Amino acid sequence: MDIIRHAGQAPLWRNLASRLLNQTAILVGRVVSDALAVQGTHRYQLAVLATLDAFGAVSQAELCRRTNIDRSDMNAVVNALESEALVTRVSDPEDRRQNIVEMTETGKARFESLKAGLAEAENRALAPLARADRRELLRLLRILHDYHAAPPASAEGPG
């Protein structure tokens, strides 16, 4: 059909959905990460801030579930956020295993600031797609994502 050869890639490699997904995720991710980096923030940190903004003070374990971040990494992320006074971490008096993480006013301000930058970055990242195409892309990605996202603790174990 249409011979595109913007760098000359092997057909199999070029047509591999996984590669295309990966490569595009990198390029798009870079635009977003740059927008975050301007404010000295990482993707993981944004995930946590967004989760706290949406669900209020929750435990680290809860953050892990909602962000799909590993416990080990979550610890480091909360450390970083805490050292910047963007969140507080206190031991839950009702269950002393847990730490309750809560956003500070500084954290909220940072988050609002990040949101603005993010909106612009996303817009720049998706620039070549019309509104309908953006929605379609997100729809398809969501299908794929939800399909592969392991449903844990259900009755859907490996046959």
Residues that bind DNA in the complex, under the rule CB under 7 A: 22-23, 26, 30, 33, 42-44, 59-61, 64, 68-75, 78-79, 89, 95-99
Q: Does 131 bind a copy of itself (CB under 8 A)?
A: no
Kindly indicate which of the ranges 49-57, 72-80, 81-89, 91-99 contains the residues binding a copy of itself, using the contact rule CB under 8 A.
49-57
Q: Does 83 bind a copy of itself (CB under 8 A)?
A: no
The residue written with tokens 């080990």 in the block is: 72
Fill in the amino acid letter for 138.
Answer: L
Query: Residue 143, Cα to own-chain centre: how many angstroms?
Result: 17
How far apart are the C-alpha atoms of 159 and 157, rounded to whole Å? Answer: 6
Q: Which is nearer to a copy of itself, 54 or 96 (CB)?
A: 54
The helix (H) or strand (E) run that includes residue 46 is helix 43-55
Q: Does 125 bind a copy of itself (CB under 8 A)?
A: yes
Structure tokens at 107: 């954290």
